[in-house]
Homo-oligomer: A and B are copies of this chain.
Amino acid sequence: MTIDELIAAASDRLTPVERRIAEAILADPTLLAFGTVSDLAQKVGSSRPSIVRFGVKLGFQGYADMREHARRSVSAKLSRPSQRIRQQDSSLGRATAALTEAIRGLLDKIGSEQLSTLGAPMVSANHVWILSGETSRAGAHAMFSGLTMVRPNVHLITEHSSGRDLSGAAPGDAAIVFDFARYRRHTVTAARSAVDLGVHLVAITDGPLSPYAAMTETWCALDIPAIGPFDSSVPSVAIAEMLVAYVARQLQDEARSRIDRTEALWQATEIYWE
């Protein structure tokens, strides 16, 4: 059992000071492995016996016992790199490798200037309409959830009501579509309609042969790795978050005050635990 797990098991029985101790240990595991009781006490602004009692509460015989445990786990981590190689061909290893490669590809394929090109319409638009196919809905959702936090008039178009929802679109608006092969008929036609209405379309798709590439100049291609039997939506989510970050940076104070208002509202309605 690791220290983390022991802390987790006791987390609901911890006193305030003990909770601070736990946080310090979790934030920097070397504190426990290297530090003395006095070091920890000073770090958390508490007294030495509190540290010792914390160790006892976790099931150790004393601080020395707990430190010994922490040292063993650090030793294990230090010797693990050789084991990591072995995991490389496990399915988990392959999945993370594919995802890492996909994320790295984002940086290669999409420079900072292209990020601005893609993001600009969402800064200046009156309304932003978000479209997506089934498999890429996670990206659209991330986009929607983030964008509503930093600017008004953001609409997520569900497939069932695309015709009705888009009827309010007009020139000066922007639409962003997430869709990859095989493209959804509904999504393609919705995007087409948006363009016909004079909306500036931004497309996150998978290549020049995508139907969306023909509709707009502002599009980008992502490499979509497969995780198990399905395509990953990680690249979609990643670029959605980067675009949101870009829009937030451009809108500056406007975005910040909007975030603050939402935060205040959430606090007031006690939406958070603790």
Contact = CB atoms under 8 A, between A and B. Distances in A.
B227 A244 contact: yes
Interface stretch (A120-128, A165-173, A228-236): A228-236
Given A4-B221, A87-B107, A241-B228, A272 B185 contact: yes
Given A78-B30, A273-B184, A138 B237 contact: yes
A221 B3 CA distance: 13
A241 B270 contact: no
Interface SS, A side = helix
B229 A259 contact: yes
A145 interface: yes
A269 to B, nearest CB: 9
Contacts of A112: 87, 90-92
Interface in A74-102: 74-75, 77-78, 84, 87, 90-93, 95-96, 99-100
Given A237-B237, A244-B230, A245-B91, A208 B5 contact: yes
Interface string A208-236: 11110110000101000001111011100
A207 interface: yes
Contacts of A11: 208-209, 213-214
B95 A111 contact: no
5 contacts: A5-B208, A8-B219, A30-B74, A99-B103, A146-B230
